[in-house]
């Protein structure tokens, strides 16, 4: 095994594919769901639960997770993490890390009227405010690569502009061109300054449900994607049909021989659909956030643990999952934890939800290989 | 091994002792600290972490924890837990469970002016209000034993009266006599109705720092303690000197050949002192609650993780502990988790704190055996 990103095509045919990706002496089997560890921790869990048969039972280990550049830059600061022998050591994760850059954070944090106040775009950088103390900061396409290298991200995302859907078409186009201009700068910086063997850089194809712009973006950014490419700026409120249309339209425009990463999608049905469109990588905060609504993934779509009938139900969350939560606890117990506001409830549901998606995707991979 | 409570005296001499307690085919080595799982979960942890070398490293397994009768009676209801094949199966804990009864809960929840409204005492029972919905309930000494048997507690506590320190001496004495009357009723009920081989029942010696009443209580209740006895109603605000005085005064009055359990004491120095007075068992919520103050046990007494200097400190919480938190994470990382309000911070500190007390006591046991 080597540390340069390398793909082995295990199986690929209309309409799905299974790959082995090797990077920095680690292996990832695709399709893959990546749990989100925004601030150097996956909420309600301990990271190495994802590699422990006690918690995932017979499932393959999970060995690729996310972290977020924007958050870790603000706090605790990427130089502090570098001092700690990088993010892997800091958060005690021996496997691969992909870092999202900043776009969605600035967008989602500034959604609404605050949006314009929160950042200012120029041709070469974006100036923005910290959500913590309103202090001023800036990212350039180059500095965003530098920060991610300081974190020692294995797979980095380029800086992009995520503008909200209510701006004018003219502005949309301006932002798209700016994202492309930045992508070129990020690409050149990465090529000239860094060892591309260690750090891999993905551009992010834009733009919302506008197919003309999607086409322009896919065609331009495909040339700046030596190792992989992401489809971003989707799954932020559209209908299933809209997302499917975007995915179906965009994927044929992307390089066939590179991993494709569909950002922010955690709905099981949408993942299944996207895998059939040759998407390889997924991430979403949903599995560690559904507990807020007392909800978990099940074969009946979503199930509410809070339902009164679960109070006396001594059967497991699901009958098809072998995760730690399903194997060892009853609905009645987890219902009790939620009623009593005991944190273990969030832990068990989050563990189950990650396990559920991971199991579903691993099963799809097996099916693809058997085809 | 048998299921009847049995002690093997490993070492006993002025002024400390190390025993092996066998009960229901399980073994506990004393002195022992019992983590508190009030509502069928130990806050911020998964119970079986306490038996997993991944988390406690080379420490002996922890195999005796607490739960609370009052809370589990109100929610989810002891009959529901019985239906789930008892508390062990419900909370997924294969080892021993000790259940506290109700006294301290009613006291602590009704502390202040609400105290009188919250419950009403008669010769045969106590009527009290639920903290959840203000509904009316009652416990008798007998029903309190029944409830604990329904939970399948391995070691049960008798129903007692914990009155606040500001009542008159006359009332104190009345409550003491009532506690003794109840103890006799609980003892008789337990002897006549239940298999004393499976369920062990401890009385609780009262009363605050009043040594005359302590003497009366210790002498009376020692006769109703075939398997062990607790010293209660201490460590609720007294000074170290007062507690030491009570412990030093009370222990010589207790049966020498039975386990002694000092309730609610989690201060490392006080535990050390009490072990030298032949106390065998301890419990306290402190290890899983100190994180609220961003504090953890260390050889420098308590240490604040929130101190600014910890922000850049890449060394572990302590240099003397091998728990999962100390082995894998830095002060800087845990400081970051606290600043970002990430739950993993509470998990890591709680795990460390339980591990710290367990290590300290296990070390004392080794020292006792080597003496």
| Full 3-state SS string of chain B | CCCCCEEEEEEEECCEEEEEEEECCEEEECCEEECECCCCCCCCCCHHHHHCHHHHCCCCCCCEEEEEHHHHHHCCCHHHHHHCCHHHHHCCCCCEEEEECCHHHHHHHCCCCCHHHHEEECCCCEEEECCCCCCEEEECHHHHHHHHHHHCCCEEECCCCCCCCCCCHHHHHHHHHHHHHHHHHHHHHHHHHCCCCCCEEECEECCCCCHHHHHHHHHHHHCCCCCCEEECCCCCCCCHHHHHHHHHHHHHHCCCCCCEEECCCCCHHHHHHHHCCCCCEEECCHHHCHHHHCEEEECCEEEECCCHHHHHCCCCCCCCCCCHHHHHCCHHHHHHHHHCCCCHHHHHHHHHHHHHHHHHHHHHHHHHHHC
The secondary element (H helix, E strand) that includes residue A272 is helix A268-275
Closest CB to B343: pick one of A43, A329, A332: A43
With contacts defined as CB-CB under 8 Å, which chain A residues touch B335? 76
CA distance B151 to chain A (A): 14
pLDDT exceeds cutoff 50 at B180: yes
Q: Residue B191 — very low, low, confident or very high, per pLDDT cuts 50/70/90?
A: very high
CA distance A85 to chain B (A): 9
Of A29-38, A211-220, B126-135, B186-195, the range with the lowest mean pLDDT is B126-135
pLDDT in tens, B9-46: 776 666 789 999 999 989 999 999 999 999 999 999 99
What 3-state DSSP class applies to A115? helix
Best mutation target, A35, A49, A76, A288, to test chain B (most B CBs within 10 A): A76
Sheet containing strand B32-34, edge to edge, reads: B32-34, B281-283, B260-262, B229-231, B204-205
Segments of chain A with pLDDT less than 50:
1-2
CB contact under 8 A, B339 and A92: no
Token reading at B126: 């106590």
Cis peptide before B76 (omega within 30 of 0): yes
Of B209, B217, B142, nearest in space to B176 by CA: B217
pLDDT exceeds cutoff 80 at B351: yes
CB contact under 8 A, A90 and B333: yes
Q: Residue B253 — very low, low, confident or very high, per pLDDT cuts 50/70/90?
A: very high
Cβ-based interface (< 8 Å): residues of A facing B: 39-41, 43-46, 52, 54, 75-76, 80, 83-84, 90-92, 311-312, 314, 328-330, 332-333, 335-337, 339-340, 342-344, 346-347
What is the β-pairing status of strands B32-34 and B281-283? parallel
Give the nearest chain A residue to B343 (CA atoms): A44
CA distance A370 to chain B (A): 37
In contact, A36 and A8? CB cutoff 8 Å: no
Cα separation, B283 vs B272, whole angstroms: 13
Query: Mean pLDDT throughout B298-303?
Result: 89
With contacts defined as CB-CB under 8 Å, which chain A residues touch B352? none
With contacts defined as CB-CB under 8 Å, which chain A residues touch B80? 311-312, 332
Closest CB to B91: pick one of A314, A333, A347: A333
With contacts defined as CB-CB under 8 Å, which chain A residues touch B332? 76, 80, 84, 90
C-alpha B294, offset from chain centre: 23
Residues 6+ apart with CB under 8 A from A365: A18, A29, A30, A31
Residue B114 CA neighbour count, 13 Å, CB half: 12
CB contact under 8 A, B340 and A75: yes
Alpha-carbon dihedral of residues A88, A291, B67, B11, nearest 10 degrees? -10
pLDDT exceeds cutoff 70 at B216: yes
Token reading at A24: 């920095």
pLDDT exceeds cutoff 70 at B113: no
- Beta bridge partner(s), residue B337: none
CB contact under 8 A, A40 and B329: no
Catalytic machinery residues of B: 100, 283
Q: Residue B203 — very low, low, confident or very high, per pLDDT cuts 50/70/90?
A: very high
What is residue B133's predicted lDDT score, i.e. its pLDDT?
Answer: 87
Cis peptide before A31 (omega within 30 of 0): yes
Supply the DSSP symbol for A298: E
What is residue A44's predicted lDDT score, i.e. its pLDDT?
Answer: 97
CB contact under 8 A, B39 and A342: yes
CB contact under 8 A, B40 and A333: yes
Expressed in angstroms, the distance from the first to the final Cα of chain B is: 27
Query: Mean pLDDT throughout B149-172?
Result: 89
Mutual orientation of helices B344-370 and B331-339 as an angle, nearest 10°?
Answer: 140
With contacts defined as CB-CB under 8 Å, which chain B residues touch A347? 46
What is residue B12's predicted lDDT score, i.e. its pLDDT?
Answer: 67
Cβ-based interface (< 8 Å): residues of B facing A: 39-41, 43-46, 52, 54, 75-76, 80, 83-84, 90-92, 311-312, 314, 328-330, 332-333, 335-337, 339-340, 342-344, 346-347
In contact, A217 and A23? CB cutoff 8 Å: no
Cα separation, A60 vs B23, whole angstroms: 39
Closest CB to B336: pick one of A75, A332, A340: A75
Best mutation target, B84, B291, B338, B352, to test chain A (most A CBs within 10 A): B84
Q: Residue B233 — very low, low, confident or very high, per pLDDT cuts 50/70/90?
A: confident
CA distance B34 to chain A (A): 19
CB contact under 8 A, B41 and A92: no
With contacts defined as CB-CB under 8 Å, which chain B residues touch A90? 330, 332-333
C-alpha A52, offset from chain centre: 21
Q: Please state the φ and ψ torsions of residue A366, each to the nearest 5 degrees.
A: -60, -45
CA distance B95 to chain A (A): 15
Taking the CA atoms of B157, B159, B164 and B169 in sequence, report the sign of the dihedral they define: negative
CB contact under 8 A, A340 and B314: no
In contact, B30 and B283? CB cutoff 8 Å: no
Closest CB to B343: pick one of A44, A336, A337: A44
CB contact under 8 A, A342 and B311: no
CA distance A343 to chain B (A): 6
A283 catalytic residue (yes or no): yes
What is residue A1's predicted lDDT score, i.e. its pLDDT?
Answer: 45
In the numeric block, the tokens 């990546």 are attached to A34
CB contact under 8 A, B76 and A332: yes
CB contact under 8 A, A329 and B41: no
Token reading at A9: 């095509």
CB contact under 8 A, A343 and B314: no
Catalytic residue among A150, A154, A227, A283: A283
Cα separation, B296 vs B345, whole angstroms: 11
Closest CB to B344: pick one of A46, A83, A344: A46
What is residue B115's predicted lDDT score, i.e. its pLDDT?
Answer: 58
Supply the DSSP symbol for A10: E
CA distance A90 to chain B (A): 6
Closest CB to A84: pick one of B39, B76, B332: B332
C-alpha A85, offset from chain centre: 24
pLDDT exceeds cutoff 50 at B1: no
With contacts defined as CB-CB under 8 Å, which chain B residues touch A336? 39-40, 75-76
Closest CB to B333: pick one of A43, A91, A329: A91
Of A217, A215, A265, nearest in space to A240 by CA: A265
Mutual orientation of helices A169-193 and A211-222 as an angle, nearest 10°?
Answer: 10
Query: Mean pLDDT throughout B271-288?
Result: 94
Closest CB to B76: pick one of A39, A328, A336: A336
Average pLDDT of chain A, as a whole number = 90
Token reading at A297: 């993934």
CB contact under 8 A, B90 and A333: yes
What is residue B166's predicted lDDT score, i.e. its pLDDT?
Answer: 76
What is residue A108's predicted lDDT score, i.e. its pLDDT?
Answer: 63
CB contact under 8 A, B75 and A336: yes
CB contact under 8 A, A344 and B41: yes
pTM of the model: 0.95
With contacts defined as CB-CB under 8 Å, which chain A residues touch B36? none
- Tell me, what's the ipTM? 0.95
Q: Please state the φ and ψ torsions of residue B313, each to the nearest 5 degrees.
A: -95, 110
């Amino acid at each position: 095994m080597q540390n340069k990103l390398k793909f082995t095509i295990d199986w690929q045919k209309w309409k799905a594919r299974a790959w082995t990706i090797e990077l920095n002496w680690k292996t990832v089997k695709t399709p893959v769901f990546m749990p989100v560890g925004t601030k150097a921790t996956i909420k309600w869990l301990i990271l190495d639960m994802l590699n422990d048969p006690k918690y995932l039972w017979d499932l393959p280990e999970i060995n690729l997770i996310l972290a977020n550049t924007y958050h870790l830059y603000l706090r605790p600061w990427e130089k502090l993490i570098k001092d700690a022998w990088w993010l892997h050591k800091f958060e005690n994760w021996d496997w691969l890390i992909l870092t999202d850059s900043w776009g969605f954070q600035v967008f989602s944090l500034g959604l609404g009227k605050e949006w314009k106040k929160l950042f200012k775009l120029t041709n070469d950088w974006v100036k923005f405010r910290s959500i913590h103390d309103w202090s001023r900061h800036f990212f350039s396409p180059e500095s965003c690569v530098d920060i991610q290298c300081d974190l020692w991200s294995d797979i980095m995302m380029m800086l992009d502009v995520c503008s909200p859907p209510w701006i004018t078409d003219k502005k949309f186009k301006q932002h798209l061109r700016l994202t492309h201009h930045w992508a070129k700068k990020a690409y050149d910086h990465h090529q000239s300054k860094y060892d591309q063997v260690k750090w891999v850089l993905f551009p992010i194809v834009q733009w919302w449900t506008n197919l003309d712009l999607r086409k322009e973006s896919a065609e331009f950014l495909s040339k700046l994607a030596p190792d992989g490419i992401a489809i971003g700026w989707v799954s932020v409120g559209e209908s299933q049909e809209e997302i499917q249309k975007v995915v179906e339209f965009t994927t044929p425009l992307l390089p066939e021989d590179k991993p494709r990463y569909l950002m922010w999608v955690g709905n099981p049905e949408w993942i299944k659909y996207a895998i059939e469109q040759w998407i390889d990588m997924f991430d979403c905060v949903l599995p560690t956030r559904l507990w807020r609504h007392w909800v978990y993934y099940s074969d009946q779509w979503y199930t509410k643990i809070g339902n009164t009938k679960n109070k006396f139900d001594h059967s497991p969350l699901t009958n098809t999952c072998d995760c730690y939560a399903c194997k060892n606890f009853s609905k009645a117990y987890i219902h009790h934890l939620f009623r009593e506001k005991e944190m273990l409830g969030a832990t068990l549901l989050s563990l189950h939800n990650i396990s559920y998606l991971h199991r579903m995707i691993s099963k799809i991979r097996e099916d693809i290989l058997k085809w």
